Amino acid sequence: MKKLLLSLSILLSVGISQAQVALEILQPASIAGGYGIGFTDNGWGFPDMNNPANAVTGFVEVARDATTADSLCCADNVADLTGKIALLYRGACQFGDKARYAQNAGAIGVIIVNNDPNGYIDPGAGNQGATVTIPVIMISAADGAALRSELDNSVQVEAFIGTTFLLYANNLRLTNGFALLPKMGSTLSANAQDASEYEVELEAVYVNVGQNDQFGVTATAEISFGGATIFSDTFGPFDIASEDSVTVTFNTFSQSSYATGDYTLTYSFTMSATDEFTQDDELVYPFRIDNDRLSLAELDANGQTTSSGGIRPAESTQPFTSCIVYQDPNASRRSVKSIGFSASTSTVDGIELTGELMEVVAYEWNDVITGLDAVTVSDITQVGFGEYFYDADDQGVTVYQDLENPFNMVDNQKYLFCVTTYSNDIFVGYENGRIYDYNESKYDFPNMLINVDGAWGLGFINPVYPAIVVETQSPIGIDENNTVEITPFPNPSSDIVNIPLAGMDGFADLKVMDLTGKIVKNQRINAANANNVEVNVSDLTSGIYVFNIIFENGMTSTFNVGVTR
């Protein structure tokens, strides 16, 4: 089964820039420089923008309708834009329609201003994008306001849209999709108890797209937790010739024990010369170790993904199923309780989610996988099912549906955790802030599957991944009632940590361990008649520490505390 090369309908509110293509404001000096953009060539009719010959340079002009009012460019009545780069706004119609009408008015390029102040997306081609032969990019609302301010003051704004390849004398690049990520955006703590169970391989491709050879380059991979760096590995110095690349394999990140919470992986570099295009100088990937939830997408402590929109194949009628693939040698330590997802509709067209049906399904997947080129989906067994009816218009909100029958997972069993819509108006939640393509190539194993109108495929040509969350619990038959939830404060702290123990009786033993598993503090505490017990951490170095409390009645509590200096 080959990867399905599908055109897409996209409804997203955040996105990433494909770093090979850039927007550079050439003048005026007050706003000159490189800008973050959303860009994709999938489904569009414009030429290869990674070819320097296809770059465009021109003055920016606001697209207006025949009455000289601002235009969303949703009708063929746009005032003359001959030789101009059109500045227009998101809303009311597909991006492909907007670009086509601007092109009909003579524009040589299109800049779409997003409705998110800080974000931008890769604008999908929609139904008309194949007829558009001029480049189309998107910028954030904040950047759009900066351009518009100059234009409203009758200042000429000149822009360049094209590849960063050989555009600058000195320009090294890191590209999302050419680096290893943690295998999951959220990993279960039950399956990450020590270095033998969990590690993160680190590798990134450093590319010299500048005109000059670069000398003395130093590459770094760093992982932080709670604001403190817990891992850092540096490679170099080394040289990279112009138009060449170096793949750097760093030491593997592993710990003797892992605290639950939010981690951040950052790839970066330094170089002797001053980099002239800094937007692609680092890659940042948040990931999480969570007690209950697993996900490919980035996940916060409340179980919300970073997706606030969605995607579906433009060709699809119905149904559309999106799945993540999961397999772990210690999967039996947890049972599956529910599946979370997000969805969106075109609110511009007045379509709401209220009353819509979504299905969640878990499958055991038993086909033997020998590589990405040999993926088949013929031997699957449904092991979990649930139906979710929206009772509110929860656009982009991660919601959870319990399975009718929770089930214990089996070690090393492949699972598909899926969400299905039967409506062409619903866009299933996806994240495009991280790209797992490099992981899939490295491990020769799929992260996701889709089913479009009954046909299984590996996924989309676009680098997007399902924002599906699997909520787990202790295996059925195991009692979790001997644990106590405690939230210490302040956390992090530089001196005193307060541990709230209201309602507890007797004495308890406190052990404090660092992330290597070494016990750094033992303390006998009296919980009787105490609202808060103070623990002095002023003698500990900066970092994350695991607090474990065992009460006389057999109850236990484990939590993390950050120490700052």
Handedness of CA 492, 495, 499, 500 (dihedral sign): negative
423 and 448: one domain? yes
Indicate whether 107 belongs to any domain: yes
Least Cα distance to 440 among 180, 191, 192 occurs for 180
CB contact at 8 A, 197 and 330: yes
Indicate whether 449 belongs to any domain: yes
> Which of 258, 289, 320 is the endpoint of a domain?
289
> Which of 129, 163, 197 is the endpoint of a domain?
163
146 and 267: one domain? no
Q: Compute the distance between CA of residue 290 and CA of residue 299 in angstroms, rounded to an integer.
A: 9
Range of the domain at 64: 21-163
Indicate whether 541 belongs to any domain: yes
239 and 311: one domain? no
Tokens 């139906």 correspond to 387
Residues with Cβ within 8 Å of residue 437, at least 6 apart in sequence: 177, 463
- What count of other Cβ atoms lies within 10 Å of the Cβ of residue 56? 17
> Which of 240, 263, 289 is the endpoint of a domain?
289
* Integer CA distances (angstroms), 379 to 128, 327, 363, 457, in order: 39, 16, 10, 14
310 and 412: one domain? yes
pTM of the predicted structure, to 2 decimals: 0.74
Least Cα distance to 188 among 328, 15, 343 occurs for 328
Q: Compute the distance between CA of residue 253 and CA of residue 232 in angstroms, rounded to an integer.
A: 9
Indicate whether 482 belongs to any domain: no
Got the DSSP string for 62-103? Answer: E-BBTTS-B----SS-BPP-TT-EEEEE--SS-HHHHHHHHH
Find the CATH number of the domain harbouring 559.
Answer: 2.60.40.3080
77 and 178: one domain? no
337 and 364: one domain? yes
Length of the chain, in residues: 565
Q: Compute the distance between CA of residue 468 and CA of residue 471 in angstroms, rounded to an integer.
A: 10
Find the CATH number of the domain harbouring 148.
Answer: 3.50.30.30
Q: Compute the distance between CA of residue 259 and CA of residue 227 in angstroms, rounded to an integer.
A: 14
Indicate whether 366 belongs to any domain: yes
Per-residue pLDDT of the chain (565 residues; tens, 9 = 90+): 333 333 344 443 333 333 478 898 989 989 988 788 888 888 899 999 988 889 999 999 999 987 777 778 888 889 999 999 999 998 878 889 999 999 999 999 999 998 766 577 788 888 889 999 999 999 988 899 999 999 999 999 999 999 888 888 999 999 888 999 999 999 999 899 888 899 999 999 999 999 999 999 999 999 999 888 999 999 999 999 999 999 999 999 998 888 889 999 999 999 999 998 887 899 999 999 999 999 999 998 888 887 645 777 766 667 899 999 999 999 998 999 999 999 888 655 678 899 999 999 999 999 999 888 888 999 999 999 999 999 998 888 899 999 999 999 999 999 999 999 998 888 888 876 688 889 988 999 999 999 988 888 887 655 678 899 999 998 876 555 667 888 888 888 889 999 988 777 788 889 898 876 778 898 888 877 667 888 999 999 888 888 888 887 777 888 888 888 7
441 and 535: one domain? no
Which helix (H) or strand (E) covers residue 261, if one does? strand 261-270
Least Cα distance to 310 among 394, 387, 389 occurs for 394
255 and 356: one domain? no
Indicate whether 203 belongs to any domain: yes
351 and 323: one domain? yes
116 and 219: one domain? no
Indicate whether 338 belongs to any domain: yes
- What count of other Cβ atoms lies within 10 Å of the Cβ of residue 541? 11
Residue 270: beta bridge partners? 218
* Integer CA distances (angstroms), 201 to 177, 193, 251, in order: 15, 17, 7
Q: Compute the distance between CA of residue 536 and CA of residue 526 in angstroms, rounded to an integer.
A: 15
419 and 549: one domain? no
424 and 559: one domain? no
